[in-house]
Amino acid sequence: MSDDDGGSRPEQLSEFIPSRGFIKDYCDAASACTDAPVGFHLLMAYALLSTCASKIEMDFGAQPIRPNLWILLLAPTSFFRKSTCLSIARKIINQVDQSLIMPSEFSKEKLYDIIADRSDFLSGAFIWSEFGGVMATLEKTFMAGTKEFFADLFDIPDVYSKSLKKEGSQPIRNGYFSVWTASSISWFVSRIKEVDIQGGFLTRFMFCFVNHKPRNITLPPPLPEGSKMALASFLTKLRMTGNRARLTPQATEYFHTWSRETEEEMGRQEQGGNSYISLFRRTTQHALKIAILNACAELSMDEVIFEIDIQKEHIERACMMMNEMVTLSKKVLIPELAAIRTKELKKLYRIIEKYNGALKGALMGRTRLSTRDFNEATQTLADWEYIQIVETLSGSNNRKGQKYIINPEKSWEADDDIL
């Protein structure tokens, strides 16, 4: 039984679903068996295409670009059926080839071997139902370096053989994989650290935030078997396609103008003090990957394909979709991140205020922050001139250290909205 909420508000991102092809077929099939927002189905269609298009590349400077995507579905609550959307897409990819689904639990050494075993664009998908939990795991000491490892592989280097490599392991050659995951806004932002943004791990993700759920299906039907088989058949044939994609002249001209304007605007916002805008610094690259998949989704697999032409319509739809996704995500993520950041810094400021002039070791014991987080936070307070970090000598052996002193000329209360 289905109950419409009676509202006339259009579904977010629905305008970017094409009139034909794999994306249209997937969104129709998935929408019939859940009341999840159609925008989530759209992103899962791209997740499926991305996982199976590992052999398609487009010239992009010194390193060809391939359409691997890391997708994060975000919503206010669990009622938006994020996990259901992941599950539907998982059923399709499982029908294509069960080995495409990467293990959900791993050590950092095992992770290296998993990806090394899939070298040369064999592909795979990491599917995580709750990204906040993954972030928490990656923060553990025994997983140190794993986020950096993931980030290094996003651009698919020809050969990778450092960091997590154990003695005797083979190097990773052209390691290609997609990531599908989801989270509530509150759980996600509570796990983000500044280094995850500035270090590049989170900037690899495409954020799909939806806060409008127009339908309510109380008794959802199963995914039609015929639809599942047809979608899996298309993806199976796509996996065999190893062609070069190229932008047509009209598409090239459109992308050139849009990417320049987009990057200039982001640069202005970052210079204006919006450090969180760097979350979206891969927007133009994501648009190119989406455009490749837009073209792939409309291929006729019954014909011989020599080259995949990315038409102006493909790149325009990709760019406009990225504009909308970034706009929706910025409105909720940046204020939430700023609020949490303010709370954390204010708490640290109060501890330094109480123990004014204390040495680093004494303060760290009271904050329960890691060395990296403590250094980053105190440096931020120093940059904003709330505190002074003074080099000092302590102990009988005159060991070098640091002490932290409140700036008496600047109080938090007088400038409480600095963030």
Tell me if 287 sits within 8 A of 261, measured CB to CB. Answer: no
**Residue 168's pLDDT band (boundaries 50, 70, 90)?**
low
Please tell me whether residue 117 adopts helix, strand or coil conformation: coil
Distance in angstroms (rounded) separating the CA atoms of residues 91 and 47: 13
Residue 247 confidence (pLDDT): 96
Residue 7 DSSP code: -
Residue-wise pLDDT tens digits, 100-143: 999 888 888 888 888 888 777 678 899 998 888 888 888 888 88
What tens digit of pLDDT does each residue of 310-347 get?
Answer: 999 999 999 999 999 998 888 888 777 777 778 888 88
Q: CA-to-CA distance for 93 and 47, rounded, in angstroms? A: 10
pLDDT in tens, 244-283: 999 999 999 999 999 999 999 988 887 776 677 888 889 9
In tens, the pLDDT along 22-57 reads 999 999 999 999 988 999 999 999 999 999 999 999
The residue among 263 and 191 whose pLDDT is bigger is 263
Exposed, middle or buried, 25 (CB in 10 Å: 0-12/13-18/19+)? Answer: middle
Where, residue-wise, is CATH 1.10.10 in the chain?
Answer: 355-415
Asked if residues 51 and 125 have their Cβ atoms less than 8 Å apart, the reply is yes
pLDDT of 304: 63
CA–CA separation, 53 and 51 (whole Å)? 6
Pick the residue with more confidence: 2 or 60?
Answer: 60
CA-closest candidate to residue 29, choices 53, 38, 209: 38
Which pLDDT belongs to residue 4?
A: 41
Mean pLDDT of the chain: 85
Residue-wise pLDDT for 55-109, tens only, equals: 999 988 878 899 999 999 998 877 889 999 999 999 999 999 999 999 888 888 8
- Residue-level pLDDT at 95: 94
More confidently predicted of 201 and 343:
201
Query: What gap in Å lies between CA 48 and CA 91, rounded to an integer?
Result: 11
CB neighbour class for 141 (10 Å; exposed up to 12, middle 13-18, buried from 19): exposed
Determine the pLDDT at residue 162.
63
Question: What is the reported pLDDT for 178?
Answer: 95
Distance, in Å, from the CA atom of 292 to the CA atom of 349, rounded to the nearest integer, reads 48
Instruction: Work out the average pLDDT over 158-183.
Output: 78
Give the pLDDT of residue 180: 96
Own/partner pairs, 132-136, CB within 8 angstroms, 24+ separation: 132/183, 132/184, 132/187, 132/188, 132/190, 132/191, 134/181, 135/188, 135/191, 135/192, 135/196, 136/191
From-to residues of CATH 3.40.50 in the chain: 2-339
Per-residue pLDDT at 6 exceeds 60: no
The listed CATH number (1.10.10, 1.10.1200, 3.30.1490, 3.30.420) that belongs to domain 355-415: 1.10.10
> Check: CATH 3.40.50 for 2-339?
yes
Q: What is the rounded CA–CA span in Å between residue 20 and residue 43?
A: 16
Residue 396's pLDDT band, with cuts at 50, 70 and 90, is low
